[in-house]
A = this chain, B = another copy of it.
Amino acid sequence: MFSKDFLFGASLSGFQFEMGNPNNEEELDKNTDWFVWVRDLGNIINGKVSGDLPEYGAGYYTNYKAVHNLAKEFGMNALRIGIEWSRIFKESTKDISLDDPNMLEKLDQLADKKAIEHYRDVLEDIKSKGLVAIVNLSHFTLPLWLHDPINVHKGKETEKLGWVSDDAPIEFAKYAEYIAWKFKDIVDMWSSMNEPHVVSQLGYFQTSAGFPPSYFNPSWYLKSLENQALAHNLAYDAIKKHTGKPVGVIYSFTWYDTVNNDEEIFESAMFLNNWNYMDRVKDKIDFVGVNYYTRAVIDRLLVPIKIDNYELNWYTLSGYGYSCVEDGFANSKRPSSEIGWEIYPEGLYNILKEIYNRYGKQIYITENGIADSSDKYRSFYIISHLYAVEKAINEGVPVKGYLHWSIIDNYEWAKGYGKRFGLAYTDFERKTYIPRPSMYILREIIKERSIDKFKGYDPYGLMNF
């Protein structure tokens, strides 16, 4: 059973949902690193990115009301959106000092008024539908004045090093405080940033994933992670100056299974990929936002790799977790999604227990979903992951909400439009959103606030843990 006040909703971000019309200048967000990155010729020719362009997307910027209606009709009581830093500040905020007593007013001069107005409209519509409004301030993208991904990628001299630069946390704190100041009246919950570790890992270490700047540099991987932690901490205090509403961070947690129950590499992997960031911000969070998709299975590396002080002594096995064939089956015989991710709900249960044991905070599931264009697995993906959540709650973990990723189909970064995570099928051409069958199942669950009706039917054996 999920309590009356348990949040059931969906998560969106800015870049992946907003644009939808290449001819609508207001919708276009040309000032962000990803906008440039995904249209770089070399990236396209060499398959680092799909070639799909974000301006042909779902069009949430213009059609947000239709999406909010959908959320309401299907029983949701919360929605998470992202505000795009690069829309608010098209140009650098570096000239305005953090110590300046008139900082907010000066930032207000610099800020794009239309963008501010737009996000207020969006938030007011969310509130008008009776939905809890959750705002996340940074979701992968950085303003171009902070990050020049092409030049970094090519090794060219540039000051715009993104999160590697020590300026970034400062500028982020300004932006965060400004947004808090502008929207404190209407936002119910705040998150500083989304999946900081992914930004660092795919940007500087696992550079084959197609994320900007795809520049292999293990030290920068660690440096950018530290800077993102610092940025969060500064932002937390900055937001808290203006509001008593809860402020947290959204993190993509991975559960690790090891070959041969190898405790040492388990600890090592859990530390590097989960705790290394979270430990740095643990005193400045009111809640933990948990994004969970699947696990990883790891084995010991015979010759460890040094990353500054950290010794990487494990590697990820393909055939499990995030490393499966697309639209097939993992080596565990469980289905793998159209993006090649194993369906593994017990990983969510496991990680929830670990997170609560370590940090003792309230938890929200801020992302959970599946790339499944034909909706063949999504109903059971939801049911089985809610089973994991319920089991954790029953054992005392204070999970307070579940936000599905996502309510409509989105632009899946380097992979483009082919990976469909939406509860509602999105016709990118017509900008229509047609609920898939699984959305009716989620509606039923929300109505009942329970998955009991679905227990006992478990075609993939996902709910026997």
Contacts and interface: CB of A to CB of B under 8 A. Distances in A.
A453 interface: yes
Interface stretch (A292-300, A361-369, A456-464): A456-464
A427 interface: yes
27 contacts: A41-B216, A41-B218, A42-B207, A45-B205, A45-B216, A46-B206, A46-B207, A48-B208, A153-B155, A154-B155, A155-B155, A155-B156, A374-B459, A374-B460, A376-B376, A376-B377, A379-B437, A427-B456, A430-B456, A434-B455, A434-B456, A434-B457, A435-B453, A437-B438, A437-B440, A437-B441, A440-B441
Contacts of A174: none
Contacts of A216: 41-42, 45-46, 154
Contact of A375 (B41, B153, B379): B379
A436 interface: yes
A208 B47 contact: yes
Interface in A363-421: 373-377, 379-380
Contact of A41 (B305, B437, B460): B305
Interface string A20-54: 00000000000000000000011001111000000
Contacts of A438: 437
A38 to B, nearest CB: 15
Given A155-B155, A207-B42, A437-B441, A432 B456 contact: yes
A453 B434 contact: yes
A435 B445 CA distance: 13
Contacts of A208: 46-48
A438 B45 CA distance: 38
A215 interface: yes
Interface string A119-143: 0000000000000000000000000
A372 to B, nearest CB: 9
A349 interface: no
A296 B440 CA distance: 34
Contacts of A440: 437, 440-441, 444
A175 interface: no
Q: How large is the interface on A (under 10, 10 to 19, 20 to 34, 35 or more residues)?
A: 35 or more
Question: How many copies make up the complex?
Answer: 4
Contacts of A277: none
Nearest to A459: B374
A454 interface: yes
A425 interface: yes
Given A46-B206, A46-B207, A155-B156, 13 more contacts: A45-B206, A45-B216, A154-B216, A374-B376, A380-B437, A425-B456, A427-B456, A432-B456, A434-B456, A435-B453, A437-B437, A437-B438, A440-B444
Contacts of A41: 216, 218, 305
Given A46-B206, A208-B46, A459-B375, A215 B437 contact: no
Contacts of A379: 375, 437
A48 B430 CA distance: 40
A376 B335 CA distance: 12
Contacts of A436: 457
Shortest 5 CB-CB contacts between residues of A and residues of B: A155-B155, A42-B216, A376-B376, A374-B459, A425-B457
A41 to B, nearest CB: 7
Choose among A153, A377, A437 the residue with the greatest number of B CB atoms under 10 Å from its CB. A437
